[in-house]
Amino acid sequence: MKKVVKFGGSSLSGPKQFEKVKHIISLDKDRRYVVPSAPGKRDDRDNKVTDLLYKAYSLASGDQDFSKVFSEIEGRFNEIIAGLGLKVSLKEEFNTIKKNFSRKIGEDYAASRGEYLNGILLADYLGYRFVDAAEVIFFREDGSFDSARTYDAVYERLKDIERAVIPGFYGSYPDGSIKTFSRGGSDITGSIVARSVKADVYENWTDVSGFFVADPRIITDPENIEMITYTELRELAYMGASVLHEDAIFPVRREGIPINIKNTNKPEDKGSWIVQSTGQKSRFIITGIAGKKGFCSVNIEKDKMNSEVGFGRKVLQAFEDNDISFEHMPSGIDTMTIIVHQDEFIEKEQSVVSEINRMTHPDSIDIESDLALIAVVGRGMKAAKGTSGRIFSALAHANVNVKMIDQGSSELNIIIGVKNEDFENAIRAIYNIFVIAQL
């Protein structure tokens, strides 16, 4: 078997965490390819190395003295070297990075150096080969990921290397300059490596034991999700569940490679499995609940709307012309509602309203702000009767007014709109009816 293992910033924040990582890898000889993040926070008052790098580069690009911040960065890595008794020195690397900062080589380069340096240290500590991600992960000139070239390059580089460390988060443009993924992009690197080497499993190690049914900041000690499909995860990740970068599932999804989310600090926990499909029933009717605040609804009414060809296209054209994407579009015979992000819409609302009026001549347009959307997701909902009814009953009992409901034909998820102020109470009510009531 071949396993690709990715360790997050909290898992590699200092010497003791490095020791945990080495122990975890040593327990399974199939853990052959390792993708590290930059060192994260050691405690709540600490800084992530990536944040320090951004700060140092910001000073450098403004022709200000960045030596104090960079000394803090050097100190973090030197602490790891000293704590583990490594013989490797990063002095030349530090000097090169400082020169490049002074040359204003680019923010992506600066942000990537945490993973790069951590990769060098972890490879030395494990006795693995170090492979610079810039040499095998490629982006096109327009910044889009070059998947075909990357998969071939990673495969060719690693096919004769038994064990290697490949830093996460970054790759390179055709001219060799550094390009990063979005924050949290080391998850994507791990997925890319897993697909390229045709891994049997992609393990993603972090500081939590997998996914929870609901946000632990809202629900005290929520139940763990033992198994979740890629499709369910996409729905939950889009609505705010953030244990794994949402783009990390695409490379492995096409190959059917399962992802196992594990806890570096509690390696004995089973964690959560993300799979392409499963016949295994989830413990509860729902798999998870996630949501976001800050939405706005634009409700358009017009008699005989349903018989007017092109009405919906014209309404959406008004949003497109103002560079606003929509989230959901529930509709009735004579009504159509567009749900958008409030912060994107608010400054352009009058322009959108004017264009809708000009193009469609509606009877009325009503705008409601300060809405929250909650996604109730679960493959078990399709076979369960009365799921929507139970949700409405639970919300009514919690005195929460439902402003919108949207359910796709797949019956995999139900989207509910409530006022921002009712968001937390709504999630608690749904969790209680589907989880607490079944325990």
- Residue 273 binned pLDDT confidence (cut-offs 50, 70, 90): very high
The answer to whether residues 177 and 315 belong to one domain is: no
- Residue numbers of the domain that contains 85: 3-207
253 in a domain, yes or no? no
Q: pLDDT averaged over the chain?
A: 94
Give pLDDT, residue 411: 72
Give pLDDT, residue 412: 86
Report whether pLDDT(408) > 80.
Answer: no
Residue 91's Cβ-count burial label (10 Å; 0-12, 13-18, 19+) is exposed
- Residue 101 binned pLDDT confidence (cut-offs 50, 70, 90): very high
Give pLDDT, residue 354: 97
- Residue 268 binned pLDDT confidence (cut-offs 50, 70, 90): very high
141 in a domain, yes or no? yes
**Domain total of the chain:** 2
What number is the average pLDDT over the span 174-185?
Answer: 94
357 in a domain, yes or no? yes
Give pLDDT, residue 325: 93
173 in a domain, yes or no? yes
Percent of the chain with pLDDT over 70: 99
- Does residue 298 contact residue 365 with C-beta atoms inside 8 Å? yes
Q: What is the CATH number of the domain that holds 316?
A: 3.30.2130.10
Give pLDDT, residue 112: 98
Q: Of the candidates 153, 181, 207, which is a domain's last residue? A: 207
Chain segment 219-233, per-residue pLDDT in tens:
999 999 999 998 888
The answer to whether residues 431 and 301 belong to one domain is: yes
Report whether pLDDT(242) > 80.
Answer: no
Chain segment 368-407, per-residue pLDDT in tens:
999 999 999 998 888 788 888 899 999 999 999 999 888 8
Q: What is the CATH number of the domain that holds 39?
A: 3.40.1160.10
Give pLDDT, residue 409: 67
Residue 330's Cβ-count burial label (10 Å; 0-12, 13-18, 19+) is middle
Report whether pLDDT(241) > 90.
Answer: no
Give pLDDT, residue 410: 67
Report whether pLDDT(210) > 80.
Answer: yes
Chain segment 198-207, per-residue pLDDT in tens:
999 999 999 9
Report whether pLDDT(339) > 70.
Answer: yes
182 token code pair: 């979005």
What lies within 8 Å, CB to CB, of 252 at 6+ separation is 191, 194, 195, 202, 258, 259
Give pLDDT, residue 128: 98
Give pLDDT, residue 385: 83
The answer to whether residues 52 and 195 belong to one domain is: yes
The answer to whether residues 303 and 427 belong to one domain is: yes
What number is the average pLDDT over the span 253-279?
Answer: 92
102 in a domain, yes or no? yes
What number is the average pLDDT over the span 35-62?
Answer: 96
259 in a domain, yes or no? no
In order of 94, 96, 115, 224, the CA distances from 91 in angstroms are 5, 9, 16, 44
